[in-house]
Amino acid sequence: MPDLLSIQGLRAGYGEAVVLPDMSLVLAEGQVLALLGRNGTGKTTLINSIVGITRRFGGSVALAGRDITALRPDQRARAGIGWVPQERNIFRSLTVEENMTAVAQPGPWTVERVYEMFPRLKERRSNFGNQLSGGEQQMLAIGRALTLNPKVLLLDEPTEGLAPIIVEELLKAIGTITRSGGICSIIVEQNAQKILGLADRVVILERGTIVHDAASSALKADPSVLERHLGVAGTKKH
């Protein structure tokens, strides 16, 4: 499978502070990567650096073979970077449908296809963003990112604060989306247990550096890795 995302020697942060000293990461089409680590280890900074909203000190980011290092965040979005931030950032004064049509780009992910994935959004298509529940807002944030027809889908703690039944629905949808072709996903998640069943691959960060990169199945087989890097037992629910 071709590499969709290639980060090489990326050195990035905020102001004068370097959070990612030397980040290299490659993702293939159809891959779901779980990005784990304690608070403050650089997970969100890595996502933000792919989006283009950090300060870059060196290194490069390429998307489907195209160097996007010099592109602004809006240009990166049009090139194929789909982003669902922790804050969701939906347009609260627009309807569900307007949220998606406002950013839509031509491609396989149409508004109708998003409605098939999230029937609840179709029911709420005329509701304003501020009239939705937290789970519905998250579905809308993902749906809006999809209508950009991205090559890479970045999700920063997409399940935070949501009811377990909604979490299950969202994770299942993310798996289906990624494996439908032409896309890969990076999911930042605090709860390793939620994400191990979905992810193909797990990367653990410490101080902005990759300290573990392996198949999800290997991490399930050896929970001591989670304990060592995250302070959680592999069989324990958090």
* Per-residue pLDDT, 233: 55
Q: 154 and 60, same structural domain?
A: yes
Residue 164 in any domain: the answer is no
Q: 185 and 113, same structural domain?
A: no
Does the pLDDT at position 7 exceed 90? yes
* Per-residue pLDDT, 179: 85
Q: 95 and 140, same structural domain?
A: yes
Query: What gap in Å lies between CA 183 and CA 155, rounded to an integer?
Result: 13
Query: What are the tens digits of pLDDT across the range 130-173?
Result: 999 999 999 999 999 999 999 999 999 999 889 999 998 999 99
What mean pLDDT is reported for the chain? Answer: 92
Mode of pairing for the β-strands spanning 152-156 and 184-188: parallel
Quote the number of domains for the chain. 2
| Lookup result for tokens 């191990």 | 196
Q: 230 and 180, same structural domain?
A: yes
Tokens of 151: 């090559």
* Per-residue pLDDT, 2: 63
Q: What is the mean pLDDT of residues 173-195?
A: 88
Parent domain of 60: 1-80+150-159+170-238
Query: Could you tell me which residues come within 8 angstroms of residue 216 by beta carbon, excluding any fewer than 6 positions away?
Result: 34, 196, 197, 199, 200, 201, 202
Q: 68 and 155, same structural domain?
A: yes
Q: 224 and 185, same structural domain?
A: yes
Q: 181 and 218, same structural domain?
A: yes
Query: What gap in Å lies between CA 90 and CA 73, rounded to an integer?
Result: 17
- Residue 66: CB atoms within 10 Å: 12
| Lookup result for tokens 């000293």 | 21
Q: What is the CATH classification number for the domain harbouring 51?
A: 3.40.50.300
Residue 165 in any domain: the answer is no
Query: What are the tens digits of pLDDT across the range 56-78?
Result: 999 999 999 999 999 999 999 99
Query: What gap in Å lies between CA 150 and CA 6, rounded to an integer?
Result: 15
Does the pLDDT at position 230 exceed 80? yes
Q: 64 and 9, same structural domain?
A: yes
Q: 155 and 55, same structural domain?
A: yes
Q: Is 13 helix (H, G, I), strand (E, B) or coil?
A: strand
Does the pLDDT at position 35 exceed 90? yes
Q: 204 and 138, same structural domain?
A: no
Does the pLDDT at position 202 exceed 50? yes
CB-based contact 128:92 (threshold 8 Å)? yes
Does the pLDDT at position 11 exceed 90? yes
Q: 112 and 6, same structural domain?
A: no
